[in-house]
Structure 1
Amino acid sequence: MTVSNTEPNLQNNSIVALQTNRHYLTIFLTFLLLGSAVLHAQDIPPKNEANIPKTTKDDTISVNLKPIIGEISEQAQDTVKTDSVKPPKETLSNVVDYYGEDYVFLDRKENKVYMYNKAYIIYEDMRIDAGMIILDYNKNEVYAKGIDSAGVYSQRPVFVQGQNRVEPDSIRHNFETEKTLVFNSRTEQNGISTIAEVTKKINDSVIYLRNVKFTTSKNIDDPEYYFYTRKAKFVPGKKVVTGLTNMYIADVPTPVGLPFAFFPLTADRTSGFIIPTFGQNNNRGFFFQNGGYYFAINDYLDFSLLGDYYTNGSYALRGETSYALRYKFKGNLSARYESLVNSERGFPDFSESSIYNIRWTHSQDTKSSPSSRFSASVNIGSSKYFTQSISQTNNASALVNTLSSSISYSKTFEGEPQVNLSVAATHSQNTQTEQISMSLPNLNTSVSRIYPFAPKDGIKKGIIENINFQYDLTAENRIQTTDSLFFKSEMFNTAQIGAQHSIPVTTNFKILKYLSASMGTNYRETWVLKSTRQRYDETANNGLGGIVKDTVSGFESYRTYNFSTSLGTTVYGLFNFGTDKKIQAIRHVMRPSIGYNINPAFDRYYDEFIVPATAGEAAQVVQYSRFENTLYGAPSKVYSSSIGMSLSNTFEAKIRDRDTTALEPKKVTLLNNLNFSTAYNLAGDSLQWSPLQFSGSIPIIPKLDFNFSGTLDPYALDNNNQKIDVFNINNGGSLFRLTNANVSINYSFSSKDFETKTKDTDRIENETFRNGGRPDDLFGEAADIYDGQIYKEGDDDVDKTNIEWYNYNIPWDVRFAYTITYGNNQRQSEISSQSFMMSTNMELAPRWTVGVSSGYDFKNKGVTLTQFRFQRDLESWQMSFNWTPIGSINTAWYFFIGIKSSVLSDIKYDKRRESDKRL
């Protein structure tokens, strides 16, 4: 840094109110430079060159201050006079910090301070960084610009005040008027970048701009698109209002323009209108879709109200709210109602219908209340909602046959014993039969196991010390109804209310050290509030007579009990082949078990009545239980005593590792959970053996399992294909008949599996999964027509512009599922179902992704639902096209192109063709 001999080092100083205290600075410099006779102003010397003039004795002057001080009288010292002239208001009322790496030069003649190279100046909440900064005390201004070296303009000024940041070519700021003039400024707020040729800051709340570009592009120097306007008003943190505005794409003007434009810049959510989508539908005419209003209620709750309207009279309303309280809970609720009109009035294909759908999800933070929890997952609606909705493009959800819901609250009361309480409301709906089953509500209470004979040290041994019991209570109000009666009073007419109390008593112990035995009994008491009475009425059926069933309200109960015992063990087998072999050993683990179960007959809960004899038919006695049509059904009147047997097998192998440095062989599972189970009924008089059930899984490669299951029946069939009490082997057949079997294979892999050892997991939190379908994309992906977003904000942070086009490492993923079912219950010996489904996604080039989901039904010999997906990341924009050319329910396509930024998400174009909902 270069300095003169008459100035101190001012490289980094703090100057307080320099404008109004100039005379104090002069007096200070006079006393500081007593040895100087003449003061000279000095130009800025060249960089790294110091110009220090020599000092001689002739250049010095001596000043004697004693005579001046002695002339001050005592009266003058004792008298204090008030200055009647008020000092001018200080322009710079705070500390000014400034710095320059190469030099900081103070020119007293022009009253300016020059800072050069990586310079900055800080005043209150304002900071300016630049290559060169000039502070002018005469004009109360600061001027900043970059450094132009060899044609390269570097160290552009950076102006920061509060939350605002501007990066111009040069800047002028006046401390007195607080006005700023900025040239070629660049600023960014809430995702929108602003590039202005001239910017004039009037005050902290109003800024005027001329020749302005607005864009969300990350490349602010060369944006791929922008909105251009000649004049604009900018209110920091709130909005930008412009005059005539045109959209430019690749610096080419487009006919898309507006007489004025409004860009919101608030950091918080604000209420506002949602621009609808315009289009035409062949069946319903022109439409306005997904237009409405967004209500930003507060930081924890919002609400949006959307609507659709078609010129043929169809309309739809949709309300959605999201809520969240940090560390407590979060959720969202949406409801949609559609009034559908097909064709035109007077035409033969005219029809009217209405559908609805209600969804609610609520989750609680586990840390908020460890002992209690409330959760909700609701999906209620018309059975035909997913197939007929005018705003539904999710083909996978249309294939779902069941809608289910659950709202539950659980509470744990700590102590000894521990008590668990849960209250829930559930709903299950079959969209094919339109049958609805609801539990509104159900109550479950349980008391943890109690060991009355356990020793105080807690170590239980033997049959007595391991005796334990617990208590369980289940109460339910079950409603069976149909889609047409839902939300109507008739749905409660057939409601069934009941409760069951259960007290199981069990114990376990060892026999001969290797056998694990258990015994137990279960006492159960059932309560109901409605029962059934049956009788024969000769006047029924218009005098022809018949059985009449009467429902009687009132408390009824019955009690049942049973006894069971089991014995099991684990057997290990090891076959060694030698360490020099590739397969060194095979391990076989068997877990056989045998159990005995006895259930008494509770025929005392059965009544009987006589049906009189009629022509050709003798009188008969009919037995019934008044608990037959109750919630938990009637107790069994048949005595049963049966022995159950099961065997579980696992085969593992030790294989020499290909890695020669490995010290241990590698373990491989050959056959996982090969299970067999059957039972023998000691109390039965025929068909005492139950069919033999088997299941297993064979791991082929990681994440690819060959799963199989089936049933083997030991009894033969007669000529009418009815089961008879003769073993099949004694009837000239094999030991067992294979009555049914199923084989399924599921596999998913991707290019990431060959790069790292992380697994390719499915996206569980998607719409199809919430609707009860598969979490993967084997039935296609759903396109959200409300925003159309494929690539979210922040997805393009990775630079994809400098990727090799012939890069062999192309990202991809593949999923497929194969299933086949064989049926032979009545000698039909046929493949009842056989299908193959697959999906794949591949990034063919940077920012280009394609995907296909399809399948083939071998039973019906046809291609299943097929979807093609094309997605293009256009940096600041995105484009997607979903096409379903083949489908058993609907065929459609959907095209979308729009801006990624959520601030400008309404600037989009989408077009779709709906399927014919009448098919």
Structure 2
Amino acid sequence: MAFQKPSHTFTKIHLKALHTNNFKILFALSFTVFINTLSFAQDIPEPKEPIKPSLKETVILKTSDSLIAPLISEKSQDSTQTDSIKPKKDLLEYIVDYHAKDTTKFNRKKQKLFLYNEAIIDYGDMNITAGSIIIDYTKNTVYAKGIIDSTEGYTQKPVFTQGNNVVEPDSIIFNTETKKALIYNSKTEQGEGHVIASITKKENDSVYFLRNAKYTTAEDQEDPEYYIRLLKAKIVPGKKIITGPAGLYIYDIPTPIWLPFSFFPQSEKHTSGILMPSFGEQNERGFFLQNGGYYFAINDHVDLAVVGDYYTNGSYGLRTESTYTKRYKFRGNLGFRYESLITSERGFPNYAKNTIYNLRWSHSQDSKANPNSRFSASVNLGSSKYYRNSINQINSGAFLNNTLSSSVSYSKTFQGEPQVNFSLTATHSQNTNTQQINMTLPTFQGSVGRMYPFASKTGSKKGIIQNINLQYNIRGENRIQTTDSLFFKKEMFDDAKTGFQHTIPLSTNFKVFKYFSLSASTNFNEVWTFKTINKTFDPIERKAVTETINGFDSYRTYNFSTSLGTTVYGMFNFEKEGEDRKIKAIRHVIRPSISYNINPAFDKYYDTYEVVSADGLTTNDVDYSRFEQGVFGVPGKNFSSSIGMSVSNNIEAKVRDKDSTATEAKKMILLNNLNFSTAYNVAGDSLQWSPVRMSGSTQILNNKMSINFGATLDPYALDNNNNKIDKFNIENGGSLFRLTSANLTTSYSFSSKKGGKKDKKDSTESGIQENLRSGGRGDDMFGVGEDFANQQINDKNDENETPSEFYNYQVPWSLRVAYAVNYSNSRRQNEISSHSLMFSGDISLGEKWKIGASSGYDLKNAGFTYTQLRFERDLMSWRMNFSWIPFSTRASWNFFIGIKSSILQDLKYEKRRQPDIQL
């Protein structure tokens, strides 16, 4: 789950004049003592009513060979006589099953059983495999050790298994009566870590005592890159490890980091516990406790983390994160963050106080849950300045994004003929610059599937009559427009606009002259609204007065449209007999179409008010519609009749395949699409031609480089004031068209042969997912989001990876480049409105070394854009990274090194310089 976990930050404290509140400092220290006092919450509670194991019936030792089995005297007894003396307990309580590959020998005099080479002993829930095993029946002991081989050395070391606990020592002595054991040079796995001890004493089935042991999460147990040396320790398998003095060693080199005691919780399931905070100092807010709280393991389907920050100048923050899932049903996560930020101290000129918050919720339904209904949610709302002012999160993608958006929807389909669909959707869109918020609470949409009333029940639909079809759609909206300051206040709902729109489209299509497709449609539209307006002119204030009228009202409109189109194929063949040319053929596909649209005038829905001058004379009448402030706009006042024309092109080529074994030519796209469109307003009295709009796209370099372009061409000229006039540009001494705007965007991704492989998880994937969840880009062009408190839980360790080489001669790399340019010339300004180059990439210096960067260059203003530099080093059991934003108002850096394992996630070092944020 994504939530803030504790991060220990070692900060150098500088003396300065900071007027802090003594009471708040004492509160922070008291909170620390409170956490240390209650840290036993990490322990796993004992079950209230343990189940007592039932003893098996005592049995006599059975051996696989009757010749070497110990002699047991038998005495005849009368069945009618009962002996008052209780029988003596047998030497062994359970049946002993044993096996050896080479030797199985029993010494009658010493009462010892010798097993040699691949020896196996099964006794109750205990299993021992070793090179040599000796069973002493007089002392009730089992002694297991390995075999010394002249070539391989010490082989077939013992493996002691009891229940789920596995120990791999050099040798072991086990007492079958007391269940105690002495284990020498043992290696055992405890949770995510490994314990290597010189001497281990097994007290009973659930307690082990160790002396001079090592605890590590390294994969290489023979030569671990780090370990924690335990002078004395107690292990309760599957529950906890409690130690005496413990110190950190790195490659057998002692460090000054020692603790008088330590506690390692061991559990195979989620458990609740305290999240230890980090301590430090921030320039503007004094000393702090950060990311401290409690983790609630509610059940296997849902959890909750509550963490917070406290600063001695009075600032504080609170965050809650919850992840939930149910297999084959749904999954999601919910997070809420709130921060009360104080800059400087009261009385200083730079004192400021502000509160910010952010709510994020994502929910997805499994496709197998219900094929006819679906619920989904993607919510990201809160203060417009949250991502800019938050002091405990650096999210580059969200910071550079100016829009926060949310959507929660439910849809259901009723199968049948015709099919019925409906959906309920709540949406939210927020501009973080203007702090303008637009919401729909909710939007209702319903539809009845397309119906063909005149089609035959069998066979295909043919002709103009059989292809007549209609459907019914309804849309209802409750639209709200507000700002940050009024969000979820009473004023927010006062200006809500509500309305319904009903549409019934009727259409048909048929063939004309065999090669042309003709379609015709008409659309009936009815709008319901519950608020209208009335406008009057106030002669005293000299302005129009708008009055809102509550009550039901409606209007109806209709229109007609038709279109005619065809497809033309052209093939240019370059092949000649006896020649194997590189370009085989080029195919050009042209799709021309022409359309006609007519919209009647609905001026009956318009009224007028008189504008009176200061001397009491009526100057003019102003038209308005009482539906102007409605959700679905106003009906058209003027009659319109227009003809639209468009042409689309597609060009492909067949080329010789580079693979000599290929039997067919390879298809290559030369021009994915090239579109031209314009329109002529038949009912207009001037400027009847619309500008010609051109757009196109293609992909080159094995589809790695995409190119998109567009332009607008205006046929009309400009006057001396740069205003458009009803005169063609060619008649005014210019060219046929004026280029008023143009744009070009291209992107290219390329990499080395090895760098292009995606065999293992991309190190920036989690950051990109954070970008998307916060509304940012789905790539690293603007950097990646980083949650420094959770660096250690992003474990990307692969068990199949080989240890990194210090030098990698292949040096895998990848580079992503995006270029964009926009040209404007609508009023003869003839300027490049924007011109930028963005790039991001990474270089792997070794299997576990990676350097990455995201930046860009503004070619118009001649300056670098937002830049982020990244360095990562996978240290097997450890992870180290450094990120740096060298300039801009977000200039900052962060260094982190810590252990990957979640059990030791607090063993880390982090140092950061936070950006200077002004509220």
Alignment TM-score, normalising by the size of structure 1: 0.90
**Residue correspondence of structure 1 range 723-872 to structure 2 within 5 A:** 723-752=724-753, 763=765, 766-789=769-792, 792=795, 794-795=797-798, 797-801=800-804, 803=805, 805-808=807-810, 810-872=811-873
**Residue correspondence of structure 1 range 503-652 to structure 2 within 5 A:** 503-538=504-539, 543-579=540-576, 580=579, 581-615=581-615, 618-652=618-652
C-alpha displacement at 1:179, in angstroms? 1.2
Structure 1 residue 301 and structure 2 residue 291: aligned?
A: no
1:491-541 deviations in Å (ceiling 9; x for gaps): 111100111111111111111221111111111111111111112234xxx
Please tell me whether the aligned partners of residues 793 and 901 of structure 1 are also in contact (alpha carbons under 8 angstroms). Answer: no
Counterpart of 1:453 in structure 2: which amino acid?
F
Please tell me whether the aligned partners of residues 746 and 818 of structure 1 are also in contact (alpha carbons under 8 angstroms). Answer: yes
Distance in 2 (CA, whole Å) between partners of 1:756 and 1:917 is: 40
Q: Structure 1 residues 383 and 110 mapped into 2: Cα distance closer, same or farther (>3 Å)? A: same
Q: Structure 1 residues 284 and 458 mapped into 2: Cα distance closer, same or farther (>3 Å)? A: farther
What's the counterpart of residue 5 of structure 2? none
What's the counterpart of residue 477 of structure 1? 478
Counterpart of 1:570 in structure 2: which amino acid?
T
Distance in 2 (CA, whole Å) between partners of 1:708 and 1:83 is: 106
Please tell me whether the aligned partners of residues 505 and 521 of structure 2 are also in contact (alpha carbons under 8 angstroms). Answer: yes
Counterpart of 2:394 in structure 1: which amino acid?
T
C-alpha displacement at 1:126, in angstroms? 1.6
What's the counterpart of residue 36 of structure 1? none
What's the counterpart of residue 111 of structure 1? 111
**Residue correspondence of structure 1 range 650-661 to structure 2 within 5 A:** 650-661=650-661
What's the counterpart of residue 704 of structure 1? 705
Q: Structure 1 unaligned segments of length 5 or more: list them.
A: 1-14, 33-67
Q: Structure 1 residues 30 and 96 mapped into 2: Cα distance closer, same or farther (>3 Å)? A: closer
Counterpart of 2:801 in structure 1: which amino acid?
V
Q: Structure 1 residues 793 and 770 mapped into 2: Cα distance closer, same or farther (>3 Å)? A: closer
**Residue correspondence of structure 1 range 8-407 to structure 2 within 5 A:** 80-90=80-90, 92-150=92-150, 152-407=153-408
What's the counterpart of residue 914 of structure 2? 914
Counterpart of 1:817 in structure 2: which amino acid?
A
C-alpha displacement at 1:615, in angstroms? 4.3
Counterpart of 2:553 in structure 1: which amino acid?
E
What's the counterpart of residue 674 of structure 1? 674
Q: Structure 1 residues 854 and 30 mapped into 2: Cα distance closer, same or farther (>3 Å)? A: closer
Distance in 2 (CA, whole Å) between partners of 1:712 and 1:198 is: 87
**Aligned-partner SS, 1:632:** coil
Please tell me whether the aligned partners of residues 18 and 137 of structure 1 are also in contact (alpha carbons under 8 angstroms). Answer: no
Counterpart of 2:690 in structure 1: which amino acid?
S
Counterpart of 2:126 in structure 1: which amino acid?
M
C-alpha displacement at 1:797, in angstroms? 3.9
C-alpha displacement at 1:337, in angstroms? 0.6
Q: Structure 1 residues 21 and 326 mapped into 2: Cα distance closer, same or farther (>3 Å)? A: closer
Distance in 1 (CA, whole Å) between partners of 2:851 and 2:757 is: 23
Q: Structure 1 residues 677 and 753 mapped into 2: Cα distance closer, same or farther (>3 Å)? A: farther
Q: Structure 2 unaligned segments of length 5 or more: list them.
A: 1-55
**Aligned-partner SS, 1:266:** coil
**Residue correspondence of structure 1 range 496-507 to structure 2 within 5 A:** 496-507=497-508
Distance in 2 (CA, whole Å) between partners of 1:613 and 1:405 is: 49
Please tell me whether the aligned partners of residues 232 and 242 of structure 1 are also in contact (alpha carbons under 8 angstroms). Answer: yes
Q: Which has the larger radius of gyration?
A: 1
**Larger deviation: 661-670 or 389-398?**
661-670
1:229-286 deviations in Å (ceiling 9; x for gaps): 2111111100000111111112122121211100011111111111112222122122
C-alpha displacement at 1:96, in angstroms? 2.3
Q: Structure 1 residues 385 and 837 mapped into 2: Cα distance closer, same or farther (>3 Å)? A: same
Distance in 2 (CA, whole Å) between partners of 1:450 and 1:763 is: 47
Distance in 2 (CA, whole Å) between partners of 1:443 and 1:95 is: 73
C-alpha displacement at 1:289, in angstroms? 1.2
Distance in 2 (CA, whole Å) between partners of 1:229 and 1:759 is: 36
Counterpart of 2:317 in structure 1: which amino acid?
A
Counterpart of 2:147 in structure 1: which amino acid?
I
C-alpha displacement at 1:886, in angstroms? 2.3
What's the counterpart of residue 47 of structure 1? none
Q: Structure 1 residues 793 and 174 mapped into 2: Cα distance closer, same or farther (>3 Å)? A: farther
C-alpha displacement at 1:663, in angstroms? 2.2
Distance in 2 (CA, whole Å) between partners of 1:793 and 1:162 is: 31
Q: Structure 1 residues 758 and 678 mapped into 2: Cα distance closer, same or farther (>3 Å)? A: farther
Distance in 2 (CA, whole Å) between partners of 1:914 and 1:814 is: 29
Distance in 2 (CA, whole Å) between partners of 1:812 and 1:30 is: 76
What's the counterpart of residue 35 of structure 2? none
Please tell me whether the aligned partners of residues 61 and 94 of structure 2 are also in contact (alpha carbons under 8 angstroms). Answer: no
C-alpha displacement at 1:90, in angstroms? 4.3
**Larger deviation: 550-559 or 754-763?**
754-763
C-alpha displacement at 1:464, in angstroms? 0.8
**Aligned-partner SS, 2:792:** coil
Counterpart of 2:575 in structure 1: which amino acid?
G
C-alpha displacement at 1:401, in angstroms? 0.2
Distance in 2 (CA, whole Å) between partners of 1:250 and 1:799 is: 19
The number of residue pairs the alignment matches comes to 855
**Larger deviation: 902-911 or 789-798?**
789-798
Counterpart of 2:169 in structure 1: which amino acid?
P
1:874-916 deviations in Å (ceiling 9; x for gaps): 11111111000023x4111011111000111111121211111
Please tell me whether the aligned partners of residues 763 and 775 of structure 1 are also in contact (alpha carbons under 8 angstroms). Answer: no
C-alpha displacement at 1:739, in angstroms? 0.6
**Aligned-partner SS, 1:788:** helix
**Larger deviation: 582-591 or 356-365?**
582-591
Please tell me whether the aligned partners of residues 796 and 875 of structure 1 are also in contact (alpha carbons under 8 angstroms). Answer: no
Distance in 1 (CA, whole Å) between partners of 2:663 and 2:124 is: 68
C-alpha displacement at 1:19, in angstroms? 5.9
Counterpart of 2:773 in structure 1: which amino acid?
R
Please tell me whether the aligned partners of residues 753 and 759 of structure 1 are also in contact (alpha carbons under 8 angstroms). Answer: no
Please tell me whether the aligned partners of residues 380 and 775 of structure 2 are also in contact (alpha carbons under 8 angstroms). Answer: no
1:628-676 deviations in Å (ceiling 9; x for gaps): 0111111111111111111110111122233333322222111111011
Please tell me whether the aligned partners of residues 62 and 96 of structure 2 are also in contact (alpha carbons under 8 angstroms). Answer: no
**Larger deviation: 713-722 or 111-120?**
111-120
Distance in 2 (CA, whole Å) between partners of 1:325 and 1:757 is: 30
Please tell me whether the aligned partners of residues 790 and 878 of structure 1 are also in contact (alpha carbons under 8 angstroms). Answer: no
C-alpha displacement at 1:544, in angstroms? 3.8
What's the counterpart of residue 438 of structure 2? 437
Q: RMSD between aligned alpha carbons?
A: 2.5
Q: Structure 1 residues 280 and 661 mapped into 2: Cα distance closer, same or farther (>3 Å)? A: same
Please tell me whether the aligned partners of residues 613 and 620 of structure 1 are also in contact (alpha carbons under 8 angstroms). Answer: no
Counterpart of 2:99 in structure 1: which amino acid?
Y
What's the counterpart of residue 720 of structure 2? 719
1:682-701 deviations in Å (ceiling 9; x for gaps): 11111111111111113221
1:672-728 deviations in Å (ceiling 9; x for gaps): 110111111111111111111111113221220221011111111111111111111
1:168-212 deviations in Å (ceiling 9; x for gaps): 111111121111211111011221110111111111121111111
